[in-house]
Amino acid sequence: MLEQKILTKPVTRRSALKTFGIFTAMAAIPTGLVSAADKKDRAISDEDIFNFALNLELLEAEYYLRGTTGQGMSSSDAGDNPGAVTGGRMVPWVNNELKQMMEEVAQNELAHVRFYRKVLGKNAISRPVIDITGGFAGAGQAAGLGAFDPFESEMNFFLGSMLMEDVGVTAYVGAAPLIDNKKFLEAAAGILACEAHHMGMVRSTLYRMGEAARKAANAISDARDSLDGPEDVDQGIEINGKANIVPTNSDAICFSRTPQQVLRIVYGTDQSGVSQGGIYPDGMNGNIKTT
């Protein structure tokens, strides 16, 4: 189990780039920071943004449902022509309080899926092909955690959750100025708040789990940061020996990610022009799908 492993090899940006073949991460995300002019030029609509979010909500819902109930979502929630999901099983829960926390998150993410389907109607995308097993294994290898299985233990499951929740919050921050419909903007703000609650709970729980969890979480942060651009913006849960539960700048504001940065993380690449890979082996569904 990962709890018993000690990280012996530090993860650098360069080493992570070499090994990070199929890195996952994600959360519910409409899109990241794009200028209004760029949005117009590329004809990115509110529908495109919400479908991008739906791709990622589907991942989260499958992850949390499988870890807390042993099975994924129903066919009606997956869409008309859903792709297969590989991996995921019931976590061997020991602490019932931790399980209850994640059961609540699972229901939140399923509700997000249903919300987007209700709003988008017939234009909602179906679930893309999702490879949970391969994607998270690649993430663990990149971070120096060995053959990482997020369903092996409670700690692993929270580490897998951190991969997704951190990215979702930063992407929602960037999405706000891009949404034209004020009702959609209000909904996106509400989902951002929900995901931020998830993120804070997961990061604080991992911090309280002790040194092994803190090292693993920071290694995941470093590996993730190696993909989304040259700037070092991602933050672990411990900095200079102190807790760093809320990753913000000096003004206590969360940073933003662009859709291309998000897609690089999900596809496990630092290259532009990539449309598939990692946890989405056939790519995301919808119009926003290329790094």
Residue 225 lies in a domain: yes
Residue 284 lies in a domain: no
Q: Which of 80, 36, 26, 29 is nearest to 50 (CA)?
A: 29
Residue 67 lies in a domain: yes
What's residue 18's pLDDT? 34
What's residue 10's pLDDT? 38
Which pTM does this prediction carry? 0.84
What's residue 36's pLDDT? 47
Residue 278 lies in a domain: no
Residue 283 lies in a domain: no
Residue 282 lies in a domain: no
Residue 287 lies in a domain: no
Look at the chain and report how many structural domains it folds into: 1
What's residue 95's pLDDT? 98
Using an 8 Å Cβ cutoff, are 49 and 56 in contact? no
Residue 129 lies in a domain: yes
What's residue 25's pLDDT? 33
What's residue 42's pLDDT? 52
Which residue range(s) make up the domain with 247?
Answer: 2-267
Per-residue model confidence as pLDDT tens for the chain (291 residues): 444 332 333 333 333 333 333 333 333 333 333 444 444 445 689 999 999 999 999 999 999 999 999 999 999 999 999 999 999 999 999 999 999 999 999 999 999 999 999 999 999 999 999 999 999 998 888 888 988 999 999 999 999 999 888 888 877 777 777 888 999 999 999 999 999 999 999 999 999 999 999 999 999 999 888 887 777 788 999 999 999 999 998 899 888 888 888 898 888 888 999 999 999 999 999 999 998
What's residue 12's pLDDT? 38
